[in-house]
Structure 1
């Protein structure tokens, strides 16, 4: 375990418990606070005796300091959740999700998976306009080459052209997904059981946060509670960006004369993998529907979340092919055991083999 990672985890634990550097220094028996500063900065390793002392003092498992996949203290998360979702449940899931992201990073580096050292960024700030955010969404859709149904290729393009990890995950109802930033790696998690329009919107929305994190860091809990005026404006910018990514203006150059026809809106929204309501408001922004007409529109005529009424939803496979391929390579090259991966993903060994099969990935040797 690199000393930098150990120091980062120790600092995170100290801050979580509300301890000062002086207090922790006394616990370790250090004569000077500078020794702890060096440890937390990764300039000095914890000795075996000091590591045992930390485990006992904070009552954490040794795995907290030795597990190479944990990203405690390194990662920043922003979660989209309903206001009623338990923060304790979210904390537990964040630790699990962080370990998946950390496993991808470490196994990717070990097996030669290219991770871009250059983070993509949008030239936007809180002072930017909604029109600027929309233009940025149009530009990103063009850069990624998303075609006539942008939602279909967005996740793969984010992975291949931006080195942003996309994970389709099983998570409790009320949590839509998250954006995560950790040491040159951006990741987006999406609740794979959400309706198609919600999944696609969340993916594009979290992409905005990944690309603007430095200038406009999002709140950890994106649930609308306690958000200040500026943060709410950032979320509205993210909505404009997401709409432009999923519904670029070029797709509506031959819009029918009556763009308010619910049959056309429903069919078009379903084809694009967005909700009909989202399409309606995108057409307002494009000047195809008058805002007053949109406000008076009977939304009961519109299907919701990008699927036809009664149609079975196509649920994506767990985790995603790219993540699963990196894990398989890690097993094949001996960097991690089958049993460790199965425990990480909370599946049996047989179920892990079936996951490789489902993604069309050859099972590692010996499975």
Structure 2
């Protein structure tokens, strides 16, 4: 859908305002346009100048083109789903924005190459574990820790962005774009939670969901529960959990601390997987959950946590392609910086020096 009239534009402004959870008076205050002006714009009875539109877009956390072009289909479906709508406006706005960016780069033929990995949704916890094992084998990491989950996800067409959305900005969101997918992770969350959220959204991508609700650690929905099981088995296979307990001579607590550090998992997820593996009973599980690791535990273990997905972070190959497109003058400096989501400023962008065909072929595998 294209916005063609003042009335169409007014409808889009009103929709963006409602999605942001703002009243006309609140939008007027942050945009400094006045409530009467906002009301007339939304009613289509007042034209909107370019500078005013930019102010509204910034106030509503939307790209300017959002007011003229419809979002990708999965974003529209997610936006209209009554189970999702309005749960976390900052997260919803960012996933919409980035899905547009991915669709735009897809049209430019500037997305990194990827190979989709698709499976049927699991019907049981055992099926979820098998699906996780199949993905690990596809990624050529059948066991052990999955390092740099963001880069691994990019290999199968899931483009993951970690942005600081604040403590009330939601956890994570997924939408499909063409045959690729977009995940936005709230980088303000705990590092272990960020990885679990990404593993969960990987499940939605692999099982070909068009979009997904926010992650819940104790979901009521059976599908979400099974995708949680997929995420836990993906991050910490049962065999690895058992090996850790053997390594630490049945000292389950120290084994759990090691699992959290080496596999970069939240304490809750580690304890749950130890229970799944039959390594702790119900009572021991509750005791373990109630006593998260302290600095003493980490010193005794002699290992350190290496956090991932610290905001801001963009997919590694995606970032390279954006810079390459900028250097080849397919993107303006402002557009390149926008696509890189504060990982670089305009001032930090490299010179626009043409890449030779040989260099381009070596880096990206083809020449336009």
TM superposition score normalised by structure 1: 0.65
Unaligned 5+ segments in structure 1 are 18-53, 80-84, 357-361
The question of whether the paired residues in 1 share the 8 Å contact of 2:71 and 2:96 is answered with yes
- Displacement of 1:139 after TM fit? 1.7
Q: CA deviation at 1:170?
A: 1.8
Counterpart contact for 2:271–2:288, Cα < 8 Å: no
Aligned 8 A contact 2:110 2:321 in 1: no
Please name the residue that 2:256 is paired with.
265
Are 1:339 and 2:334 counterparts? yes
Asked whether 1:351 is paired with 2:345, we answer yes
Q: CA deviation at 1:282?
A: 0.8
Q: How many equivalent residue pairs?
A: 296
Provide closer, same or farther for how the CA distance between residues 270 and 59 of structure 1 changes in structure 2, counting only shifts above 3 A. Answer: farther
Task: Tell whether the 8 Å contact from 1:169 to 1:190 is kept in structure 2 after alignment.
Answer: yes
Match of 1:131 in 2: 126
Cα distance in 1 between the residues matched to 2:161 and 2:111: 16
- SS state of the match for residue 280, structure 2? coil
What residue number does 1:122 align with? 119
Cα distance between partner residues in 1 of 2:93 and 2:153: 24
Where relative contact order (Cα < 8 A, 6+ residues apart) is larger, the structure is 1
CA RMSD of aligned residues (A): 4.3
Asked if residue 203 in structure 1 is aligned to residue 198 in structure 2, the reply is: yes
Q: 2:166 maps to which residue?
A: 172
Deviation at 1:218, TM superposition (A): 3.6
1:92 and 1:281 map into 2 onto residues whose CA distance is: 30
Deviation at 1:87, TM superposition (A): 3.3
Offset at residue 275 of structure 1 (A): 2.2
Cα-to-partner distance string for 1:26-59 (whole Å, 9 max, x where unaligned): xxxxxxxxxxxxxxxxxxxxxxxxxxxx994798
Report the Cα offset of residue 65 of structure 1: 6.7
The answer to whether the 8 A contact 1:209-1:238 is kept is: yes
Residues 314, 129 of structure 1: alpha-carbon distance in 2 compared, 3 angstrom cutoff: closer
Alpha-carbon deviation of 1:300? 3.8
* Residue 323 of structure 1: how far off its partner (Å): 2.6
- The DSSP-based 3-state class of the residue aligned with 2:166 is coil
> Which consecutive residues of structure 2, in runs of 5 or more, have no partner in the other structure?
16-41, 55-63, 355-368
- Residue 345 of structure 2: SS of its match in structure 1? helix
Report whether the alignment pairs 1:244 with 2:233: yes
Deviation, structure 1 residue 183: 2.1
Report if aligned partners of 1:104, 1:326 keep a CA contact under 8 Å in 2. no
For 2:341 and 2:111, locate their aligned partners in 1 and report how far apart those are by CA, in whole Å: 24
Asked whether the equivalents of residues 185 and 197 of structure 2 are also in contact (C-alpha less than 8 Å), the reply is yes
Normalization by structure 2: what TM-score?
0.64
Query: Matches of residues 254-293 of structure 1 in structure 2 within 5 Å?
Result: 254-257=243-246, 259=250, 261-293=252-284
Equivalent of residue 325 in structure 1, options 320, 325, 331: 320
**Aligned equivalent of 2:146, options 148, 151, 170:** 151
1:276/1:114 Cα in 2 relative to 1: closer, same or farther (>3 Å)? closer
The corresponding residue for 2:362 is none
Cα offset, 1:243, TM superposition: 0.7
Shift of 1:131: 1.7
Q: Judging changes above 3 Å, is the alpha-carbon distance between structure 1 residues 173 and 58 closer, same or farther for their aligned structure 2 residues?
A: farther
CA distance in 2, matches of 1:210, 1:58: 43
Q: Is the 8 A contact 2:160 2:184 kept in 1?
A: yes
Alignment partners' CA distance in 2, 1:284 and 1:124: 24
CA distance in 1 between partners of 2:216 and 2:269 (Å): 19
Deviations 1:161-212 (A, max 9, x none): x111111222121322211212222111212233221111111011112222
1:301 aligns with 2:291: yes
More displaced stretch, 276-285 vs 128-137: 276-285
CA distance in 1, matches of 2:105, 2:250: 49
**Is the CA contact 1:124–1:212 (under 8 Å) kept in the aligned structure 2?**
yes
Map of 1:40 onto structure 2: none
Aligned residue number for residue 71 of structure 2: 71
Aligned equivalents of 2:232, 2:341: Cα separation in 1: 35
Aligned mates of 1:134, 1:76 — CA distance in 2: 32
